[in-house]
Amino acid sequence: MTLIHNLPTAPTELSTKLSTPVDDSPDPGDFLLRGLPVLVLLSLLLVLLPGTGAAALRVRDDAGRTVTLPRPASRIVSLYVAHTENLVALGAKGQLAGVSAADDPAWAGPARRLPLKPDVEALLALRPDLVVLRPLQLQMQPQLLGQLERFHIPVAVLEPPAWGNLASYLNRLGALTGRTAEARRVGERTVALTDRARRRHQSEPRPGVFLVTTARTLTTCAPGSWADRLLEAAGGENLASEARPLSPGSAVASFGDERLLGLGNRLRLVLVQQGAMNALPASELARDPRLSVLEAVRAGRVRDVPEAFVSRPSVLRLPKALALLESLVDGAREGGKAKP
């Protein structure tokens, strides 16, 4: 992460001049000539001293660009749900001016709802001082970045966070919003929460788990992804740990039905995420005759889980997500049906 705060200080030369007494003789002409340098210096100090003029802050985004703000953003447009929820986790809910239509109203509050591909006029109407989006948005709208830059709207292009870069991601959000202390605390709490979950299960057997991200093509979570680490923290063993991501850095990996059937009795629990990526419910997947050979299917251990809990990299949802997954994994460990 590159995070640069330019915090200017007054030069020694200025301090020396300010300490020199001003000639207060009654000659008005002399006063104007002698007082002018002091007035200029005082004006400079009003600009430079902390608290009287905000120093520009600079953050390097994931597109390799330097995002420069004169002050922390107060009218933010977030075009990705995980960015929105992580901003809310930092306490920046009141700084949101616009969010995507997919955002949960409970988190986004009164911020204006925007379509999946908002036009630049809709964004400008919100008078944002920062737009936060993920690279996928620019794949859908290749012209958007240039359009916003032409109107001098700062844009931060941030990848969805992964466990390996979570601290860097939160720190950048914190810097852009003036919430650096909150970002540090949230990061520490997140690590502590997952560490406690791991310790609870470290001496227990780890039942084999498979997460279906898209039932139609039987994709799963990629190794090292948000969902993969959640399953591990909840006490399960992700049996797709060697699956290949669909593309470099993707959180989704291909798998296929043949490999799924090959897991055999190692597979104790099948989780089927429900959301934008997959609409097929677990009950329908369990009726697929090809899967009837799997003991987990015959025992009824095929369960729906919200996509927002398992695959969305949201620190805001993490406590409930972990609690849900731990309950399901515990049920599979005990050998009966997964707990509801």
- The mean per-residue pLDDT over the stretch 195-212 comes to 95
Q: Quick count: other Cβ atoms within 10 Å of Cβ 308?
A: 21
Q: What is the pLDDT of residues 219-238, one digit of tens each?
A: 999 999 999 999 999 999 99
Q: For residue 285, give both structure tokens.
A: 């997947």
**100, 78 contact by CB (below 8 A):** yes
pLDDT over 90, % of the chain:
77
**163, 187 contact by CB (below 8 A):** no
pLDDT value at residue 55:
75
Q: Quick count: other Cβ atoms within 10 Å of Cβ 93?
A: 16
Under the banding of pLDDT at 50, 70 and 90, the label for residue 8 is very low
Under the banding of pLDDT at 50, 70 and 90, the label for residue 21 is very low
**245, 228 contact by CB (below 8 A):** no
Beta strands in the chain (DSSP E): 3-5, 57-60, 66-69, 76-78, 96-100, 112-114, 130-133, 155-157, 208-212, 219-221, 237-238, 244-245, 252-254, 267-274, 302-306
pLDDT value at residue 43:
38
Separation between Cα atoms, residue 338 and residue 302, nearest integer Å: 8
Under the banding of pLDDT at 50, 70 and 90, the label for residue 336 is low
Taking 50 as the threshold, does the pLDDT of residue 338 lie above it? Answer: no
pLDDT value at residue 334:
81
Under the banding of pLDDT at 50, 70 and 90, the label for residue 56 is confident
Q: What is the pLDDT of residues 235-258, one digit of tens each?
A: 999 999 999 999 988 999 999 999
Separation between Cα atoms, residue 337 and residue 340, nearest integer Å: 9
Under the banding of pLDDT at 50, 70 and 90, the label for residue 335 is low
Calculate ∠ Cα 14-18-23, nearest 5°: 135
Q: Of the candidates 10, 9, 18, which has an alpha carbon nearest to the alpha carbon of residue 37?
A: 18
- The mean per-residue pLDDT over the stretch 69-85 comes to 97
Q: Whole-number mean pLDDT of the chain?
A: 86
Length of the chain, please? 340
- The mean per-residue pLDDT over the stretch 333-338 comes to 64
**47, 56 contact by CB (below 8 A):** no
319-320-322-328 Cα dihedral, nearest 10 degrees: 160
pLDDT value at residue 10:
38
- The mean per-residue pLDDT over the stretch 25-51 comes to 38
Q: What is the pLDDT of residues 154-170, one digit of tens each?
A: 999 999 999 999 999 99
Taking 60 as the threshold, does the pLDDT of residue 185 lie above it? Answer: yes
**281, 272 contact by CB (below 8 A):** yes
- The mean per-residue pLDDT over the stretch 110-135 comes to 97
Q: What is the pLDDT of residues 84-122, one digit of tens each?
A: 999 999 999 999 999 999 999 888 889 999 999 999 999
Tell me the one-letter amino acid at 169.
Answer: Y
pTM of the model: 0.81
Q: Alpha helices of 92-213 — where are they, by DSSP H?
A: 105-108, 120-124, 135-140, 144-150, 166-177, 180-201
pLDDT value at residue 50:
40
pLDDT value at residue 54:
54
pLDDT value at residue 153:
98
Taking 50 as the threshold, does the pLDDT of residue 52 lie above it? Answer: no
Separation between Cα atoms, residue 31 and residue 135, nearest integer Å: 60
Least confident of 20-24, 153-157, 287-291, 317-321: 20-24
Separation between Cα atoms, residue 44 and residue 15, nearest integer Å: 11
Separation between Cα atoms, residue 45 and residue 148, nearest integer Å: 34
pLDDT value at residue 3:
41
pLDDT value at residue 19:
38
